Amino acid sequence: MASRRTYLDWNATAPLSERARLAMIDALLLPGNASSVHSEGRAARSAVEKARRQVGALVGAEPSHVTFTSGATEASNHVLTPDYRMGRSPVTVSHLYVSAIEHPAIREGGRFAADQVTEVPVTPDGIIKLSALDALLAGHDPASGLPMVAVMLVNNETGIVQPVAEAAALAHKYRGLMVVDAVQAAGRMAVDITSLDADFLIVSSHKIGGPKGVGALISRGEVLMPKPLIRGGGQEKGHRSGTENFHAIIGFGAAAEAMSEDLLGRNERIGSLRDRLEHAMKEAAPDVVIYGEALARAANTSFFTLPGLKAETGQIAFDLEGVSLSAGSACSSGKVGQSHVLTAMGHDADVGGLRISLGPETTDADIDKAIAAFGKIAGRRKVPEKAA
């Protein structure tokens, strides 16, 4: 019998939670289209609106401000656009400012032209330089249109928490909009759209134990909204047309509700597991570099470099030991490339980093297995002379 594998790649995707699975099974029995006015349609609409309330509650948002999408990438392309409307009046957003460590879904700039996007540098610790953002926004030409700032709340590779509220204050100081990628934060730390002073939040179902293929763009209000990315029948109040991905939305809502419960206790348990893992890693390999170790991080994430071991080699080695983890972020199909996050931080991207990410179902036995695998792999690497 094959030994049990240990899954430590929750930042790439979380296994489908039991609550989401059961909710989706029940939803399969509802035949109606949520846009239909008959009894079956009203039942489907009621289920969608329940999910909207559940997702909104996860980030302190009004349910009516939740627009369901096919995922975080679509939500990003929806909100990152020069074309906005305030009621029936067009509003132009002329430039997008993104941190250099953003997920590719944000860094690509959505519907902005390449010359309308500027990257904001980060510190060697991987935190956006607010002074640089302030200087860039001070130089923005307000006559050309509004500025937009996009900063993730938790970096998907390092787990480092970004000063989003401070960035939002700068964006609003210059009459701009603030977009927050909360994909890795929702369900892993307290997230409140009002406290963050964000105009828009992006969340994803499959990062919190919901199904893949559904996410949401969540707005602070409804006065100023982006031009729809997908037009057609006018679903989602005209913000995103197309028949709703009904069963996935129901699963998303159930997962959001589950992750809203016992957030503090769950994070304390996961954080203690992560800390025990990192302590053992440093004992086995004192030269291991753990990025953001002394900073505020999501409790579930550890991103590290082991000198003398390339990230892709390490990922394969852990896989052979029965441990699933990532070499950076899983943002492209089957591809392990250089980490743009490490590059932005001024580190050696050729060596790369390995990311271990835990979840609610991670056990002490999983950590024991990861520690044993790390010890074996660290012991057989070729240590650089300067690190010996």
Q: Catalytic positions, please?
A: 331
CA distance 94 to 102: 20
Please name the residues in contact with 5: beta carbons below 8 A apart, sequence gap of 6 or more: 322, 323, 324
Which of 14, 2, 320 shows the shortest CA–CA distance to 184? Answer: 14
CB 188 within 8 A of CB 299: yes
CA distance 364 to 277: 10
Which of 383, 384, 356, 365 shows the shortest CA–CA distance to 10? Answer: 356
CA distance 237 to 232: 11
Please name the residues in contact with 226: beta carbons below 8 A apart, sequence gap of 6 or more: 78, 79, 81, 83, 84, 85
CA distance 280 to 305: 15
How far the first Cα of the chain sits from its last, in Å, is: 39
CB 227 within 8 A of CB 199: no
Tokens 């900063």 belong to 151
CA distance 97 to 224: 19
CB 254 within 8 A of CB 53: no
CB 199 within 8 A of CB 164: no
DSSP state of 337: -
CA angle 249, 194, 65 (to 5 degrees): 35
CB 230 within 8 A of CB 75: no
**In what helix (H) or strand (E) does residue 218 lie, and over which residues does it extend?**
strand 215-219
CB 69 within 8 A of CB 269: no
Tokens 């369900």 belong to 187
**Cβ neighbours around 107 below 10 Å, total:** 18
